Structure 1
Amino acid sequence: MNKRGWGLIAAAATGLCFCCVASAQQFVYPAKGQSPDQQKKDEGACHTWAVGQSAYDPTKPPPPPPAAPPTTATGTTPGAGAVGAVKGAIVGEIVGGDAGAGAAAGAVAARGQSRRQNASQQKQAQAQQQQTASAGQAAYGKARQACLEGRGYTVR
């Protein structure tokens, strides 16, 4: 299976976990003697309302993280080594009169910097996605609770 296939499976599993967590945190008691059928209808209506209020649906997996910038087999951004080589050649010529050594050092430094920057951007995107999902889950839970309490249920 390719990377995209595994990514979709991971996203679906994450969505199922969010769904279970959101449902597991709230216990609903029919304080006014509502029947089980009425409770199911009310919970369904409150789910729909909470999704509309929070823009978060625990039954759907979160979107995949944004695509990372294209990289080479070494994990660097294409062209990073060439740009570093040019800069290194200029510095090498000015400082020591050896443009070749400067170019090699510049290429290596630029590729290392490119790898670190790509990894950092990917971590930031993942953290942002997780934070957004957590905030959406909290808003959904509050909206669902408010709706159910308005219909005469005790929610804990």
Structure 2
Amino acid sequence: MSLRANLVLATCTACVLVLGAVPGTAGVAQAHAVLPKPVAYPARGQLAHQQAMDDGACYGWARQQTGVDPSRIASAPVPVIVPGGERVVGAARGAAAGAVVGAIGGDAGDGAATGAAVGAVAGGIAHRQHRRQAAALSAQMQSSNDWALSSYWQAWTACMTGRGYSVQ
């Protein structure tokens, strides 16, 4: 290989490593924040045992009214999609195609180096697109979970308030 081809190949390899193209090292991981349970205070002197019974009854009623079970939502993690390796795959494909084209032109090494650089850039574009899609999916699922929990806690609050509790 020529000095130019070696330089291009070394530069591509460095870019791939610096940009984090090693499979599994880049991804979307978002914390799943669960809406906290409101606190109910006895407003009519209810004892702890009575409050526990009322809480259970309101749990069932709110679940029936909303179709939401907060224990399922709280235990269901938002999916984490970990894309990775697109740059490496792109560089490999580009190098293979470049070597074929370069061999026709008389210098497979230069063709492979140029193809690897182009492939790494194309793989980087695919990598960023996958990350955006994963982030959008995670945000959508988190928003849906938050809305469902909010609806459930509103129903639970109405039930507990009706049973003589002050809810905050």
* TM-score of the superposed pair, with normalisation by structure 2: 0.55
Matching residue within 47, 52, 60 for 1:40: 52
Where in structure 2 are there 5+ consecutive unaligned residues? 1-23, 25-29, 102-110
Matching residue within 59, 64, 76 for 2:86: 76
Per the alignment, residue 75 of structure 2 pairs with 61
Match of 2:36, SS state, is helix
Number of paired residues? 127
Per the alignment, residue 22 of structure 1 pairs with 36
Which of these two proteins has the greater Rg computed from alpha carbons?
2
The one-letter code of the counterpart of 1:57 is: P
Per the alignment, residue 122 of structure 1 pairs with 134
The one-letter code of the counterpart of 1:76 is: E
Q: 1:138 to 1:41 in 2, by over 3 A?
A: same
Alignment of 1:7-18 (within 5 A): 14=32, 18=34
CA separation in 1, counterparts of 2:90 and 2:133?
16
Preserved contact between residue 54 and residue 163 of structure 2 (Cα < 8 Å): yes
Where in structure 1 are there 5+ consecutive unaligned residues? 4-9, 91-99
C-alpha deviation, 1:102, in angstroms: 6.9
Give the RMSD, CA atoms, in angstroms.
3.7
The one-letter code of the counterpart of 2:43 is: A
Q: 1:133 to 1:107 in 2, by over 3 A?
A: same
Preserved contact between residue 87 and residue 121 of structure 2 (Cα < 8 Å): no
C-alpha deviation, 1:151, in angstroms: 2.0
* TM-score of the superposed pair, with normalisation by structure 1: 0.59
C-alpha deviation, 1:152, in angstroms: 2.5
CA separation in 2, counterparts of 1:79 and 1:121?
19
The one-letter code of the counterpart of 2:134 is: Q
Alignment of 1:91-106 (within 5 A): 100=111, 103-106=115-118
C-alpha deviation, 1:142, in angstroms: 0.5
Matching residue within 104, 122, 129 for 1:110: 122
Q: 1:145 to 1:80 in 2, by over 3 A?
A: same
